[in-house]
């Protein structure tokens, strides 16, 4: 039976982008920031001036990874080590699964979506914002 999900709106995504950009500015580091919806599809993306071009796809893939597994990518990293239950998971989904920090799932109204950026965990944690009403 099909499931239905509430998902992030564009306004939610813009609010998350704004918060992430502010945090990146406070750290003095330019980031690529991606927000995906409940289906793992890109809703919003920003590449700040000076952010690494090579991190564009990584930011998007981290957001998708966090959504499709409903786990922070840093948590997947520990589960994907040799001898652990998810060893090799990064080879699934056409090799687009990212298993290092920066992608986090966002929960609201019992559903999940995921923002991501080329970021250490402190920046990614700033993206857990309440849903706009």
Which residue ranges make up each domain of the chain? Answer: 10-125
Per-residue pLDDT, averaged over 92-110, amounts to 82
Does residue 18 sit in helix, strand or coil? helix
Percent of the chain with pLDDT over 90: 50
Q: Please check whether residue 119 is in contact with residue 20, taking contact to mean a CB–CB distance below 8 angstroms.
A: yes
Q: What is the DSSP letter of 124?
A: H
Per-residue pLDDT, averaged over 41-59, amounts to 94
pLDDT at 109 over 80: no
Q: Which fold is adopted by the domain 10-125? A: Beta-Lactamase (3.30.450)
Give pLDDT tens digits for 63-84: 999 999 989 999 999 999 999 9
pLDDT at 91 over 80: yes
Instruction: Give me the phi and psi of 27, to 5 degrees please.
Output: -85, -15
- Per-residue pLDDT, 121: 43
Residue 28: CB atoms within 10 A of its CB come to: 6
- Per-residue pLDDT, 21: 92
pLDDT at 98 over 50: yes
> What is the rounded average pLDDT for all residues in the chain?
81
């Amino acid at each position: 039976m099909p499931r239905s999900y509430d998902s992030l709106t564009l306004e939610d995504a813009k609010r998350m982008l704004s918060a992430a950009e502010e945090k990146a500015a406070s750290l003095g580091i330019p980031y690529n920031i991606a927000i995906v919806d409940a289906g793992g599809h890109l809703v919003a993306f920003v590449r700040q001036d000076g952010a690494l071009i090579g991190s564009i796809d990584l930011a998007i893939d981290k957001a998708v990874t966090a959504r499709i597994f409903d786990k922070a990518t840093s948590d997947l990293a520990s589960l994907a080590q040799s001898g652990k239950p998810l060893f090799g998971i990064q080879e699934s989904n056409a090799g687009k699964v990212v298993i290092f920090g920066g992608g986090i799932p966002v929960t609201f109204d019992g559903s999940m979506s995921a923002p991501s950026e080329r970021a250490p965990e402190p920046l990614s944690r700033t993206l857990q914002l309440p849903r706009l009403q």
